[in-house]
């Protein structure tokens, strides 16, 4: 490449850093992943996005979950190591212990910005300042039922409270996001009017909360696009999982132009939980080609840490981090995966800190057993292989591992 061409390329890259990072991500993942060619439809309008984690706040609101100060710090440190740029550390107005926990996390001086939840009250912002938080997520509900039955105020009062709180927070140097609680059940006209007035005090972001988890991905796309076209501000989304659509809705919001997505580790949270961190970031990376600069190999260890501290066992069927995510038993699948893993795995498990497991049971096949043993340097007669197959197929509601299969093979072969 000539010097002039190289200079032009460098100038182009400097102006298009995100586009270049996406290109590099795609190059890196081609070797280690095999996703649908139809995903290119989703890659037409890629843009950067901020992932802000709320495991320590909304995640802890999961019934029965209560993190100690030390546990919150431990989780925050690992989120920071993963590369999460913003961590919602708690809701200071809740209690003295919550304030101690937020302050402890903030005082760790992590690379991530430490955010806290704040009602549309000046006193909540003062609590955030006392905790050394970097920013506040100011919220207020706008559906008429919330205003009349819960807050007992009218719409104009709600706008006044949110604007005044956001302005106060900005004046004190905080990062500010102003969100509408239950936004997906709020009339569009009211949302647009509210945000149009809020942006006058220049918050860093505005937010849409699907508080009851009741919007569809198509509905989320429509809503985000309408807000983006009507209000000049970055948009964040916070999705709940009541219909199992939190991750899908978060990705739909991204496709519609949302610049920030709220997540929790393992999807823990109120009721059925939130959009799962591990699902959202791996989907963005492998399906959309968006490299967030995260250490994805820490996803599994982080998941295990939160499962342990929250005392919520991880479902083996959990995407990305579950024990079954890369576990194979079916004869056809095992034989294929041993030859070419991408046939039944969309990406290499080690990329997210997980591992491939080949197990044997009722659904195993002779070809898979023989191939597995051969790959592990164990040669057996066809008679032994058939004996092994008969044994594993007799198993009910359980399986044996590859290591156990090898031990049995050696035992059976010796008995021949």
In this predicted structure, what is the pLDDT of residue 116? Answer: 98
What's the distance, CA 16 to chain centroid? Answer: 26
Distance from C-alpha of 322 to C-alpha of 355, rounded to nearest angstrom? 10
Residues 155-212 have pLDDT tens digits of 999 999 999 999 999 999 999 999 999 999 999 999 999 999 999 999 999 999 999 9
**Reported confidence tier of residue 413, pLDDT bands at 50, 70, 90:** confident
Confidence (pLDDT) at 19: 52
Distance CA 353, CA 270 (A): 27
Q: Three-state DSSP class for 239?
A: strand
Please report the pLDDT score of residue 397 as a whole number: 86
Residues 73, 112 contacting (CB under 8 angstroms)? no
Q: State the pLDDT confidence band at 5, using cuts at 50, 70 and 90.
A: low
Residue with tokens 């990062």: 175
- For residue 21, what pLDDT band results from cuts at 50, 70 and 90? low
Instruction: Give the other-Cβ count within 10 Å of 316's Cβ.
Output: 10
Give the pLDDT of residue 45.
Answer: 78
Q: Where are the domains of the chain?
A: 3-32, 41-310, 327-415
Question: Residues 6 or more apart from 110 whose CB is under 8 A from it?
Answer: 76, 77, 80, 87
Instruction: Please say if the pLDDT value at position 2 is more than 60.
Output: no
Which range of 115-119, 365-369, 386-390, 395-399 scores highest in mean pLDDT? It is 115-119
Q: pLDDT digit string (tens) for 259-268? A: 999 999 999 9
pLDDT in tens, 324-355: 999 999 999 999 999 999 999 999 999 999 99
pLDDT at 7: 53
Which positions ≥6 away from 287 have C-beta within 8 Å?
Answer: 35, 36, 39, 42
List the one residue out of 128, 123, 122 whose CA is nearest residue 98. 128
Look up tokens 């009722």; give the residue. Answer: 362
- Per residue in 222-250, pLDDT (tens digit) is 999 999 999 999 999 999 999 999 999 99
C-alpha distance across the termini of the chain, in Å: 67
pLDDT in tens, 88-136: 999 999 999 999 999 999 999 999 999 999 999 999 999 999 999 999 9
Q: What is the dihedral of CA 307, 309, 310, 311, to 10 degrees?
A: 70
Per the CB < 8 A criterion, the answer to whether 235 and 50 are in contact is no
Please say whether the beta carbons of 167 and 199 come within 8 A. no
Distance CA 285, CA 282 (A): 5
Beta bridge partners of 90: 116
Per-residue confidence (pLDDT) for residue 399, from 0 to 100: 94
In 3D space, the residue among 404, 414, 320 whose CA is nearest the CA of residue 361 turns out to be 404
Cα atoms in the 13 Å half-sphere on the side-chain side of 40: 3
Tell me the β-bridge partners of 347.
Answer: 33
**190 Cβ contact list (under 8 Å, min separation 6):** 142, 155
Q: State pLDDT tens for residues 46-95.
A: 899 999 999 999 999 999 999 999 999 999 999 999 999 999 999 999 99
The DSSP code for 120 is: S
In which band, very low, low, confident or very high, does the pLDDT at 415 lie, cut at 50, 70 and 90? confident
The 3-class SS string of 300-340 reads: HHHHHHHHHHHCCCCCCCCCCCCCCCCEECCHHHHHHHHHC
- Domain 41-310 CATH assignment equals 3.40.50.720: no
Residue 148 Cα to chain centre, angstroms: 34
Q: What is the mean pLDDT of residues 360-377?
A: 93
Contact 170, 201 (CB under 8 A): yes
Confidence of residue 43 (pLDDT cuts 50, 70, 90): confident
- What pLDDT is stored for residue 74 in this prediction? 98
What is d(CA 112, CA 81) in angstroms, rounded to the nearest whole number? Answer: 9
CA distance 351 to 360: 25
């Amino acid at each position: 490449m000539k010097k002039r061409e190289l200079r032009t390329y460098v100038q182009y890259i400097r102006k298009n850093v995100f586009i270049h990072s996406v290109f590099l991500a795609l190059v890196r993942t081609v070797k280690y992943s095999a996703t649908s060619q139809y995903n290119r439809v989703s890659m037409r309008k890629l843009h950067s996005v901020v992932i802000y984690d709320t495991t320590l706040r909304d995640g802890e609101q999961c019934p029965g979950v209560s993190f100690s100060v030390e546990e919150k710090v431990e989780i925050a440190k690992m989120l920071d190591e993963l590369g999460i740029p913003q961590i919602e550390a708690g809701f200071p107005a809740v209690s003295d212990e919550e304030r101690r926990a937020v302050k402890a996390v903030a005082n760790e001086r992590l690379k991530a910005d430490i955010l806290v939840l704040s009602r549309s009250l000046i006193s909540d912002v003062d609590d955030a300042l006392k905790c050394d938080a970097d920013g506040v997520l100011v919220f207020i509900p706008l559906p008429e039922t919330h205003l009349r039955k819960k807050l007992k105020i009218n719409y104009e009062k709600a706008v006044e409270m949110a604007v005044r709180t956001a302005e106060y927070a900005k004046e004190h140097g905080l990062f500010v996001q102003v969100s509408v609680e239950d936004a997906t059940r709020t009339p569009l006209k009211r949302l647009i009017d509210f945000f149009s007035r809020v942006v006058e005090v220049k918050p860093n972001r505005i937010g849409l909360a699907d508080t009851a988890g009741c919007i569809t991905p198509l509905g989320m796309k429509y809503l985000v696009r309408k807000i983006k076209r009507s209000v000049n501000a970055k948009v964040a989304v916070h999705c709940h999982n009541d219909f199992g659509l939190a991750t899908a809705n978060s990705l739909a919001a991204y496709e519609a132009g949302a610049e920030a997505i709220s997540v929790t580790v393992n999807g823990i949270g109120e009721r059925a939980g939130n959009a799962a961190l591990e699902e959202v970031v791996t989907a963005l990376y492998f399906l959309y080609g968006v490299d967030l600069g995260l250490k994805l190999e820490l996803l599994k260890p982080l998941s295990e840490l939160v499962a342990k501290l929250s005392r919520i066992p991880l479902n083996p069927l959990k995407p990305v981090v579950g024990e079954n995510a890369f576990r194979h038993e079916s004869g056809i699948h095992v034989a294929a995966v041993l030859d070419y893993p991408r046939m039944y795995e969309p990406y290499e498990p080690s990329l997210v800190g997980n591992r491939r497991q080949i197990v044997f049971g009722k659904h195993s096949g002779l070809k898979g057993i023989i191939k597995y043993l051969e790959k592990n340097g164990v040669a057996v007669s066809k008679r032994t292989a058939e004996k092994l197959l008969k044994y594993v197929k007799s198993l009910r509601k359980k399986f044996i591992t590859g290591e156990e299969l090898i031990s049995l093979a050696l035992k059976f072969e010796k008995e021949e």
